[in-house]
Amino acid sequence: MEQYTGFNHRIQQSIIENWNRNALTDYKGATLQYHDVARKIEKLHIMFENSGVVRGDKIALAGRNSAAWAAAFLAVLTYGAVAVPILHEFTAEQMHNIVNHSDAKLLFVGDVVATEIDATKMPKLEGIIYIPDYSLKLSRTDKLTYAREHLNELFGKKYPKYFRPEHVKYYHESDPEELALINYTSGTTGFSKGVMLPYRALWSNNDFAEHVLGHEIKPGDNVISILPMAHMYGLAFEFIFEFISGCHIYYLNRVPSPVIIAKAFAEVKPKIIISVPLIIEKIIRKKVFPKIQDPKIKLLLKLPGINRKIFEKVCEEVTNAFGGNFYQVIVGGAAFNQEVETFLSQIGFRYTVGYGATECAPIICYADYKDFVPGSCGKAALHMQVEIDSPNPQTVPGEILVKGPNVMLGYYKNEEATKECIDKDGWFHTGDLGLMDADGNVFIKGRSKNMLLGSNGQNIYPEEIEDKLNSMNMVSESVVIQDGEKLVGLVYPDYEAANEKGYNNDNLMEIMEENKQLLNAILPSYCRLNTIELHAEEFAKTPKRSIKRYLYMR
């Protein structure tokens, strides 16, 4: 690893250097400049100090993305406390469990979370702070009450004349191994685990981003934050890297539907787009695919000379749908649908697919769109080593193992789980299966935990079957499960399109029977579906938009 220069130092430098630039904007709301963020950080530091918070204390944050959430998170780190971001989509019970398990001393809550939680279920908390204005929702100590009530007075005493860049002096962690934050996994297979991420992991992820994107991302550039900041992917690459780079970050506070996202892209024109496949796929399926289903267009696409021009035109349209100003779209967090990826590759769209895990804060693999091999998720990222645990990594899928400064310290209060996934040589066992070609490109084959065993001992990867099924007529999303020795496809149909066409459930079942025949014709005999069953509502998902498979197992 290159010389460690301190992570909080980078935050400090960005604030000083970008003092009068726009920093954080709630979309359709107020804007904070870098000096405004510095002022909020300073006030929160004064409140922490006067309420008895010491370095190393845990401070949790649960709320939707917003400028005030971002400033509070920065205040926690730069004070030397340990941040515990909690996904606001978690249930109240999950939030109580995480606050208690993490030993959090304070909890920041957003407007929705504030109405859902029950303070009596979190007896060790000293206070609950309301994110929008940092007012107290609950105080269990006189010190905290006094600190908040006299905050402006205490700030005025400390800075009687003015607050300027020279006053920005943050806690500088001297040990890269020091704990910076605990991030609780969404846990598609059961209970969340608290991932302990040291400063070196945050520093290394940021250093990687500066190396691969620093040539394109400049101070003053606009970006949009779509993914939850309480998830490492959104936190590292839609917030921390951009803030340290001096960018202007826009937060979509409401649930970002494709319509809101498309509108925001057109207005903000972001310089880089970080996304999960689901968002990209929805925009492509709703806005682009219908246009190229026209019989005339289909005919023209078959003519070699003309199809290139049409592809260029379609690529321009897709690019404009994302604001038209971006260097590339980086997709991660889940598998990309093959049909959509093939289409984007065919038209020459500037996209790439990365791979990561919360336990690596999050980056593991990446390649710039110019070097990206479609179907892969790039190569080992800067500072990281990646190996496939297989006798022949090019042809036989094996578990993906990773090593490097991005890897967590372990799971909080869970040595057993830590030992299960980090071996004595420091390799993190991801639980994902993959292949690696001769050039080091990694191809994900599925989760080892999701792998099904065929009747003759064959390995069946349900994600590969689902990928094909999801591209078929009237299929919105699917889960392939095992029922005894039979494979069943659970399908949530595209009810919106069905209503438009006047289809009822009988029509949909006829279509699914056709889909099953078509699908089975292209699958090996041991992973063919026995039946397809209609599912009346969307499948339950984690905040990372992965389907919670364990809910549908039989």
Distance, CA of 343 to CA of 377 (rounded, Å): 17
At 377-394, the pLDDT tens digits run 999 999 999 999 999 999
Asked if the model's pLDDT at residue 303 lies above 90, the reply is: no
Structure confidence at residue 187 as a pLDDT band (50, 70, 90): very low
Q: What are phi and psi of 289, to 5 degrees?
A: -55, -45
DSSP string, 91-129: -HHHHHHHHHHTTEEEEEE-HHHHHH--GGG-TT--EEE
Whether the Cβ atoms of residue 403 and residue 427 lie closer than 8 Å to each other: yes
Q: What is the pLDDT of residue 270?
A: 98
**Chain length of the chain:** 554
User: Does residue 120 surpass a pLDDT of 60?
Assistant: yes
- How many helices and strands in the chain, by DSSP H and E? 20, 27
Q: Is 304 exposed, middle or buried (0-12, 13-18, 19+ CB in 10 A)?
A: exposed
pLDDT value at 455 more than 60: no
CA 48 to CA 55: how far, in whole Å? 10
**Residue with tokens 């993190």, as numbered in its chain:** 428
Beta bridge partners of 465: none
Confidence grade of residue 163 (pLDDT, cut at 50, 70, 90): very high
Task: Say how far apart CA 481 and CA 178 lie, in whole Å.
Answer: 42
* Residue scoring higher pLDDT (357 or 59): 59
- For residue 2, pLDDT beyond 70: no
Q: What is the mean pLDDT of residues 527-546?
A: 88
- Kindly tell me if the per-residue pLDDT of 492 is higher than 80: yes
Which percentage of the chain shows pLDDT scores above 90? 73
**Amino acid in the structure at residue 457:** G
Is residue 100 within 8 Å of residue 122, measured between CB atoms? yes
Q: Which residue has the higher pLDDT, 261 or 319?
A: 319
Confidence of residue 328 (pLDDT cuts 50, 70, 90): very high
CA atoms within 13 A on the CB side of 294: 7
Q: Is the pLDDT of residue 52 over 60?
A: yes
The answer to whether 39 and 163 have CB atoms below 8 angstroms apart is yes
- Whether residue 162 is predicted with pLDDT greater than 80 in this model: the reply is yes
Element (H, E) at 158: helix 151-158
d(CA 230, CA 26): 17
What value does the mean pLDDT take over residues 510-539? Answer: 92
The CA distance from 49 to 164, in Å, is: 20
